Amino acid sequence: MNIWMMEKTANGWSEPKPLPEPINSVQIENEEWPSSNNNFLFTNDDETFYFTTMMRGTKSIKLYETKFDGTSFSEPKAINGIFDDEKFWIYSAVISPNGNYLVFNSYDAPGGKGGEDIFVCKKTENGWSNAKPIGTLVNSKDEESSPRFSRDGKYFFFSRAENLGNYEYGEWSIFFVETEYLNLEKIFE
């Protein structure tokens, strides 16, 4: 899996093309999945971009930051300290439209309800805070994934599937809630 892009044109969209290295890497022979598989490049300012991947030689999927100068991307840097233990993967990450919150999902991470849950970090003077579960309005005993905000930040979307056990799940459904009811600021009090 790699990240591809298309550009909006007067007639619709350009042909898709993969982003170059250092964003995309081609998996090498005998390399274990998910190494070199990237997930969802995103930005709020068209300069600082974030994405999740397992870089070669690491043991978990992490969040990375890269800068775009209009032509190329800088070497990605891992954002550390989101969890105290590197074994917890960070994926499907997005930043709130106001840039204050980083939201992502992780499997069986501390404070979750079990299985896949959604977590949030707050922007601080020193980067991102430690992750906290987003709360019981979203997280449940089932599987929650794919957090997203509406462009205006008014709504928060996520998907949920019933956990049937043995890594089997029911049908995934999409849910939404008005973002104000997540009380994101109170999570960090």
Residue 34 above 80 pLDDT?
no
Nearest to 150 by CA among 116, 177, 119: 177
Task: Count CB neighbours of 37 within 10 A.
Answer: 18
Nearest to 163 by CA among 107, 109, 111, 110: 107
pLDDT given for residue 38 in this prediction:
60
The residues, ordered by sequence, that sit 6+ positions from 39 with a Cβ below 8 Å of its Cβ are 1, 3, 51, 52, 53, 61, 91, 92, 93
Mean pLDDT of 46-73: 84
pTM: 0.82
CB of 22 within 8 A of CB of 75?
A: yes
CB of 40 within 8 A of CB of 52?
A: yes
Residue 151 above 60 pLDDT?
yes
pLDDT given for residue 6 in this prediction:
87
So where are the chain's domains? 1-79, 87-189
* The two three-digit tokens of residue 181, written as one number: 């009811």
- Residue identified by tokens 């100068």 is 69
What residues does 174 pair with on adjacent strands?
159
- Per-range mean pLDDT, top range of 44-58, 109-123, 148-162: 148-162
CATH topology of domain 87-189: Neuraminidase (2.120.10)
Confidence of residue 156 (pLDDT cuts 50, 70, 90): very high
Mean pLDDT of 123-151: 93
pLDDT given for residue 102 in this prediction:
93
pLDDT given for residue 148 in this prediction:
95
What is the Cα–Cα distance from 137 to 125, expressed in whole angstroms? 28
CA distances from 105 to 15, 20, 61, 126 (A): 31, 26, 11, 22
pLDDT given for residue 31 in this prediction:
59
Mean pLDDT of 43-65: 83
DSSP codes of every residue in 23-84: T--PPPTTPPTTBT-EEEEEESSSSEEEEEEB-TT-SS-EEEEEEB-SS-BPPPEE---SSS
Residue 33 above 70 pLDDT?
no
What is the Cα–Cα distance from 66 to 3, expressed in whole angstroms? 14
Mean pLDDT of 79-107: 89
